[in-house]
C-alpha cells in the first residue's frame, strides 16, 4: 500500500510539472485536487479513520506536518489554476 501512495505522489508531481510546462490550468486543477486527496488520505490513516490497511502510521508531528503540507500544496496549485481561469475570463469579457 505504501508503494501505491508513492506512485500516487509521483503522478501528482508529474501532473504538476506538465501543467507548468504546458501552462494548462485544467491539468493544474487536477494536480491540485490530487495533492489534496493524498493529504486527506494521510490524515485519515494517521487518525485511524481508515483501518485495516498496511499503511498504518502513528499520529505524530511528522505525519501531521506531511498532511498539512500536502493539503496546502494542493490548495496553492488549485488556487493558481483558478486565478489563471478567471484571468482568462476577464480578458475575454
In this predicted structure, the answer to whether residue 14 has a pLDDT above a threshold of 90 is: yes
What is the per-residue DSSP string for 24-52? -HHHHHHHHHHHHHHHHHHHHHHHTSS-S
Q: What is the pLDDT of residues 31-63, one digit of tens each?
A: 999 999 988 888 887 777 766 555 556 667 777
Nearest to 33 by CA among 56, 10, 15, 60: 15
pLDDT of amino acid 20: 85
Distance CA 9, CA 77 (A): 14
pLDDT of amino acid 60: 72
Mean pLDDT of the chain: 79
Distance CA 67, CA 4 (A): 16
- Cell (9 digits) for 88: 482568462
Is residue 81 within 8 Å of residue 28, measured between CB atoms? yes
pLDDT of amino acid 86: 66
Amino acid at each position: 500500500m505504501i508503494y501505491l501512495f508513492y506512485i500516487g505522489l509521483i503522478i501528482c508531481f508529474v501532473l504538476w510539472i506538465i501543467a507548468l510546462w504546458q501552462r494548462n490550468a485544467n491539468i493544474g486543477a487536477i494536480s491540485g485536487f490530487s495533492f489534496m486527496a493524498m493529504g486527506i488520505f494521510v490524515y485519515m490513516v494517521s487518525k485511524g479513520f481508515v483501518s485495516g490497511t498496511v499503511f498504518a502510521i502513528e499520529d505524530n508531528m511528522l505525519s501531521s506536518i506531511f498532511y498539512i503540507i500536502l493539503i496546502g500544496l494542493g490548495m496553492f496549485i488549485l488556487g493558481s489554476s483558478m486565478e489563471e481561469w478567471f484571468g482568462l475570463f476577464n480578458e475575454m469579457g
